[in-house]
Amino acid sequence: MAKNMQSGEMQVISRKKQFDDVTVVKYGYAEDGSLMVSEEVSGPSTSVAYGESAHKLRAIFSPGVIGDLMELLGDGAAGDKAGIVLRAYFKDGEHALIDLMDLCDLRRVPYAYQSLGSTGATYRPSFERP
């Protein structure tokens, strides 16, 4: 876990406004050391896609795979560098959380998935490596 972050604290790494839609990407650590990457979307497109004014998606990486995630994104170091690596990946609104999840699926980096909104929540646990 990054030395300057407390468990459960989330830091903004990307904010994008396009027309009336706003997307904010954050990262932080859970009490067990898992890395959480969340994307909060709001605006007219969110109303169309999810039927609500704001929606949150989250990918959760267990401590044992954070190094694999950092290597996948081009930096073999975990811990304090996770914020820097994630900020570079999401900079300029180039990528969305779904892009990171697609990349992890392709390279078999496991993560749990949550989708949270006023109309309900979805949780998919992390897959097991063979």
Q: Which residues of 67-88 are buried (b: 16+ CB within 10 A; e: fewer)?
A: bbbbbbbebeebeeebbebbee
Do 104 and 59 touch, CB atoms closer than 8 A?
A: yes
- Whether the predicted pLDDT of 87 surpasses 50: yes
Q: Is residue 126 part of a domain?
A: no
Q: Which pLDDT band holds residue 128 (cuts at 50, 70, 90)?
A: low
- Whether the predicted pLDDT of 29 surpasses 80: yes
CA distance 21 to 55: 12
Parent domain of 79: 10-120
Query: Model's pTM, two decimal places?
Result: 0.85
Q: Is residue 4 part of a domain?
A: no
CA distance 79 to 75: 11
Burial of 24 (0-12, 13-18, 19+ CB in 10 A): middle
Q: Is residue 46 part of a domain?
A: yes
**Residue 64 has which token pair?**
């044992």
Q: Which pLDDT band holds residue 122 (cuts at 50, 70, 90)?
A: confident
What is the total count of domains within the chain?
1
Q: Is residue 29 part of a domain?
A: yes
Q: Is residue 87 part of a domain?
A: yes
